[in-house]
Amino acid sequence: MGYSRYDFTPLLHSIDQWLYSVMSPAWALIVELTLIGLAFLIFYALVGLFLVYAERKVCGFIQNRVGPNRVGKYGIFQTIADFIKLLMKELIGTKDADKLLYNIAPYIVIICSFMAIGAIPFAQGLLAIDFDIGILYIISVSSLSVIGVLLAGWSSNSKYPLIGAMRSGAQIISYELSVGLSLLTIIVLAGTMQFSKIVMAQENGWFIFKGHIPAIIAFILYVIASTAETNRGPFDLAEAESELTAGYHTEYSGIKFAFFYLAEYMNMFIVASIAATVFLGGWMPLHIPAWNGFNVVMDYIPPVIWYFMKTAFVIYIIMLFKWTFPRLRIDHLLTLEWKYLLPINLVNILFMALIVLLGWHF
Amino acid sequence: MNKDINAPAKQAEEVEYHVNMGPQHPSTHGVLRLCLTLEGEIIEKLEPHCGYIHRGIEKMCEKDTYQQIIHLSDRTDYVAAHMNNHAVCLLVENALQIEVPERVKYIRTIMDEMTRIQSHLLWWGCYGMDLGGMTCFFYGFRDREKILDIWEETTGARFLQSYYTPGGLMQDIHPNFQKRVKEFLKYFSKKLSDFDNILSNNVIFLERSRGVGYLSREDAINYGITGPSGRGSGFACDVRKRFPYSMYDKVDFKEILRDEGDTLARYQVRMDEMRESMHIIEQLIDNIPAGDYSAKMKPVIKLPEGEYYQRVETARGELGIYCISDGNKTPYRWKFRSPCFSNLSVLDRISRKCKIADLIAISGSLDLIIPDIDR
């Protein structure tokens, strides 16, 4: 197929072989791991900065404002300026905080989101590690961040953070079910949990089109549940600034607060990436069977662009949620999950299984 | 029997979780302090503590002449400055039995209703924000700005205008005033449907407000809950209808009443009141009669000895002013009966057994302005 002209595998293989030819295998491995780590660190920072800027612009657009427009042209350096400010701020903690847990919590949150990036395929051959249980890995890693949130709320030894942490615990644990089940629906269709295979399976049609009704339902459920899992509005009960001042990170300041903030945006990026990969074909260009001319033209657009366009689309949907809906109440939130999303999800999986068995999918 | 077996259980019962909401809190919109006793997220008890922005305005009024009191009255309920001025002016005018020109009555009524719209807009924006919809805040403030711009042209101030004086107005309206008000009405009647789309018809909003914070009609009367909050419980307390002043007995308008008594009813009363206010302005704006903008007044106003009470309907309820005069140029005693103070008193009763998130919705629906509570 035409898109293989953008395959990263030969390039990465030649770098790998060159490294192994100039130094001992142990050193080559260390250098490779360091390079990958650095690449992800830079990527992480860039995506974080860009998403904060994008959110402020989108929010400004919805609210009849201009958004940041002073630092640099169109305010593009606004987030960098904010970041420098946060970096230089004094770290103020509460007196009776559990010091160890209080200091660890932001790192747990940020490490969890960092670990998840590794398994996401950005283009053909461009992913750090291709697990055969990739989806399971990402779900498990991203759900670990609730530990950080709970610890932050508990160890601050303050009242609003504790309420926020408890809300967050109830919320994330409930909504993980829906996230997992909606992805499971697609796994049933794909027959694999490996990201590279999932993407390749969408060569002649994305899963959202292939699995028609159940896949569309699963996509909607996934977007709702993953918004809730990342603690973003209208499900931002854990921070709920009008109720709990800032929820679980009330007592954090400076760079530790920035870590929570950055992790929130990265989690949003990760859930959007998974949605793009699993439902919208990841880096796979849009192919329509039998439209060969169209497919050839689509193949000329590099997969990385496809991937980021799809992710940006999902991120934009999630941002629209946040800026147009009011916040749910905790009991409505749990009702929504346990009484509506979960039963719909379970029926949806059965429905999908039936479709796969009968071969009704495209 | 070993007594220790029961000890931990007893201890667990005695633990109460206290949270101070305020004086610095994003949703109290000022320095109101609510001491909450929580059971999980459920509110067991709520104690409002006021006084954090007490400025002794009533005492200051006793040292000031009646013209000066106008400026202090602005600073009680600062979102509805015109209406507070109106109460002071009416008190002085009724005490001295001065008949103000028709033109003044028209302009005052228009200004009062514009105040009601902008005050409800500010409330709507903040209420949306309290419930987590940040966008509402900007929509509300965007349209409120337009009213403030019109005022700035006529009164020279945007917020604390002190535009009314005993006997009339500070100055005549700007030549553009009528044109711009009509433009605003045309613009705003379209925007109201936007408001419904973003908040009033939202499922999450309806879920959060329907049936929350029920206030019965009896309680509304017993606690003296006036204004839209009282009318949401079916308490017909509109001073404009019961004790008409200015042009209110000559214009056609409905008193919005709802029987549900919940947060949603109070919300909808305010939304409908904005439409009603527009209706009132439409009737008056083209017919402002020519004439003086003020009656002839003596430079030093001295009220005859006696007690006076004057009430007006502000955006939040009934504002009463009780004044004792000993014949001097300053009052002997001056007391504001502020609507927010009475409305706050019922908060404990209607928010018990609610969640913290509900408390935000309830206190928002009462539309409390903290400087009006403390004065």
Domain residues of chain A, as ranges? Answer: 2-7+50-358
Cis peptide bond N-terminal to B166, omega within 30: no
Q: What residues of chain A lie within 8 A of the CB of B135, using their CB? A: 62-63, 323-324
Say whether pLDDT at B236 is over 80: yes
Q: Does A245 touch chain B (CB under 8 A)?
A: yes
Give B13's pLDDT tier (boundaries 50, 70, 90).
low
CATH number, domain of B193, equals 1.10.645.10
Q: Are B21 and B28 in contact (CB under 8 A)?
A: yes
Residue A71: CB atoms within 10 Å:
14
Best A64, A327, A335 member to test B by mutation, with max B CBs in 10 Å, is A327
- Counting one residue from chain A and one from chain B, the pairs whose CB atoms sit within 8 A come to 80
**Closest to B324 (Cα-Cα) out of B337, B303, B307:** B307
Specify the higher pLDDT residue, B43 or B27: B43
B116 to chain A, minimum CA–CA distance in Å?
Answer: 24
- The whole-angstrom separation of Cα B71 and Cα B92 is 15
- 3-state secondary structure (DSSP) of residue B328: coil
Nearest CA in chain B to A159: B19
Q: Is A52 on the interface with B (CB under 8 A)?
A: no
Please tell me if residue A235 touches chain B, with a CB cutoff of 8 Å.
Answer: no
Place of tokens 């014949």: B327
Q: Distance between CA B146 and CA B144 in Å, rounded? A: 5
Chain B's closest residue to A328, CA to CA, is: B204
pLDDT at B1 over 50: no
Amino acid occupying residue A49: L
Residue A330's Cβ-count burial label (10 Å; 0-12, 13-18, 19+) is buried
Would you place residue A145 in the very low, low, confident or very high pLDDT band (cuts 50, 70, 90)?
A: confident
Tokens of A337: 């999950």
Interface touch B135/A63, C-beta < 8 Å: yes
> Which residues, 6+ apart, have CB-to-CB distance to A90 below 8 Å?
A253, A254
Interface of B with A in 247-286 (CB under 8 A): none
Check CB contact under 8 Å for B131 and A242. yes
* Residues from chain A contacting residue B204 (CB–CB below 8 Å): 234, 325-328, 332
Q: Which of B17, B41, B204 sits opposite A325 (nearest CB)?
A: B204
- Residue B205: inside a domain, yes or no? yes
Strands (E), chain B: 17-21, 33-39, 42-49, 164-165, 168-169, 306-314, 317-325, 333-337
Cβ atoms of residues A318 and A267 within 8 Å: no
B138 min Cα distance to partner chain A (Å): 6
CB A214 within 8 A of CB A348: yes
CA B133-B111-B126 angle, 5° bins: 15
Phi/psi at B171 (nearest 5 deg)?
Answer: -150, 170
Contact B357 A324 (CB under 8 A): no
What pLDDT shows up at residue A236?
A: 82
pLDDT of residue B158: 86
Q: Is the Cα torsion angle A94, B26, B158, B186 positive or negative in sign?
A: positive
Alpha-carbon gap, residue A54 to B52, rounded angstroms: 40
Sort B287 into a burial class: Cβ within 10 Å, 0-12 / 13-18 / 19+.
exposed
The CA-atom distances, in angstroms, between A92 and each of A84, A95, A327, B217, B300 are 17, 9, 29, 49, 57
**Which of A64, A240, A331 has the CB atom closest to B142's CB atom?**
A64
Q: Report if residue B215 sits inside a domain.
A: yes
Identify the three-state secondary structure at position B37: strand
B114 belongs to a structural domain: yes
Token look-up 């796969």 returns A356
A254-278 vs A99-117: helix axis angle to the nearest 10?
30
What is the dihedral angle through the alpha carbons of B81, B87, B89, B95, rounded to the nearest 10 degrees?
Answer: -170
Report pLDDT for B2. 46
In chain B, the number of structural domains is 1
- Cβ pair B198:A64 closer than 8 A: no
Q: Do A240 and B204 touch (CB under 8 A)?
A: no
Amino acid, single-letter form, for residue B305: E
Residue B335, beta-bridge partner list: B322
Q: Measured between CB atoms, does B132 come within 8 Å of chain A?
A: yes
Q: Which of B142, B205, B356 is closest, CB to CB, to A326?
A: B205
**Helix (H) or strand (E) segment spanning residue B49:** strand B42-49
Q: Is residue B374 in some structural domain?
A: no
Taking CB atoms and an 8 Å limit, are A327 and B131 in contact across chains?
Answer: yes
On whether any CB of chain B is under 8 Å from the CB of A323, the answer is yes
Gap between the Cα atoms of A162 and A151, Å rounded: 9
Measure in Å the smallest separation between the Cα of A177 and chain B Cα atoms.
22
Q: Choose among B25, B26, B128: nearest Cβ to A326.
A: B128
DSSP state of B52: T
Among chain A residues, the shortest Cα distance to B202 is held by A325
Best CA proximity match to B220, nearest among B335, B136, B79, B339: B339
- Tell me what pLDDT residue B12 has: 52
A344's enclosing H/E stretch is helix A342-358
Is the pLDDT at A242 greater than 80, yes or no?
no
Asked whether residue B34 is assigned to any structural domain, the reply reads no
CB contact under 8 Å between B198 and A327, yes or no, is no
Query: Sorting pLDDT into bands at 50, 70 and 90, what band is A204?
Result: confident
Angle CA(A281)–CA(A227)–CA(A46) in degrees, nearest 5?
70
Provide the edge-to-edge strand list for the sheet that holds B17-21: B17-21, B33-39, B42-49
pLDDT value for B4: 52
Question: Cβ contacts (< 8 Å) between B146 and chain A: which residues?
Answer: none
Q: Does A163 touch chain B (CB under 8 A)?
A: yes
Q: What residues in A contact B142, CB-CB < 8 Å?
A: 64
CB B372 within 8 A of CB B316: yes
Instruction: Please answer yes or no on whether A242 and B19 come within 8 Å at the CB atom.
Output: no
In chain A, the residue whose alpha carbon lies closest to the alpha carbon of B140 is A63
Query: For residue A234, what pLDDT is reported?
Result: 83
Which of A325, A333, A340 best probes binding to B when mutated, by most B CB atoms within 10 angstroms?
Answer: A325
CA nearest B110: which of B220, B308, B246? B246
Q: Bridge partners of B25? A: none
Q: pLDDT grade, residue B322 (50/70/90)?
A: very high
Number of other CB atoms surrounding residue A124 within 10 Å: 22
**Does B356 touch chain A if contact means CB atoms closer than 8 Å?**
yes
Give the CA distances from residue A122 to residues A6, A58, A310, in Å, rounded to whole numbers and listed in that order: 12, 24, 11
Residues 6+ apart with CB under 8 A from A273: A120, A307, A311
B41 and A163 within 8 Å at the Cβ level: the answer is yes
| Least CB–CB distance from B26: residue in A65, A236, A241 | A241
H/E segment holding residue A27:
helix A25-62
Q: Which helix (H) or strand (E) holds B184?
A: helix B177-195
Nearest Cα to A161, choosing from A169, A149, A153, A172? A153
The verdict on residue B223 lying in a domain is: yes
Q: What is the pLDDT of residue A87?
A: 86
Q: Pick from A167, A234, A245: which is nearest to B132 by CB? A: A234
- Cis, peptide link before residue B23, omega less than 30° from 0: yes
Query: In 3-state terms, what secondary structure has residue A106?
Result: helix
The CA distance from B45 to the nearest CA of chain A, in Å, is 17
CB B324 within 8 A of CB B339: no
What average pLDDT score do residues B307-333 get? 89
Q: How confident is the model at residue B11 (pLDDT cuts 50, 70, 90)?
A: low
Mean pLDDT of B91-105: 88
Pair A333, A237: CB distance under 8 Å: yes
Name every chain B residue with its beta carbon within 8 A of the beta carbon of A167.
Answer: 41
What's the whole-number average pLDDT of chain B?
86
Containing domain of residue B100, as a range? 53-368
Sequence-separated (6 or more) residues with CB below 8 Å from residue B44? B16, B37, B38, B352, B353
In a domain, B254, yes or no: yes
Per-residue pLDDT of A106-142, as tens digits, reads: 888 888 888 888 888 888 777 778 888 888 888 888 8
CB contact under 8 Å between A329 and B357, yes or no, is: yes
Question: What span, in angstroms and rounded, lies between the C-alpha atoms of B92 and A244?
Answer: 46
CB within 8 Å of B272: residues ≥ 6 apart: B256
Q: Given an 8 Å threshold on Cβ–Cβ distance, is B356 in contact with A328? A: no
The verdict on ipTM greater than 0.95 is: no
With an 8 Å Cβ cutoff, is A58 touching chain B?
no
Q: What torsion do the CA atoms of B95, B97, B101, B106 make, to the nearest 10 degrees? A: 50
8 Å CB contact of B360 and A324: no
Share of chain A above pLDDT 70, in %: 99
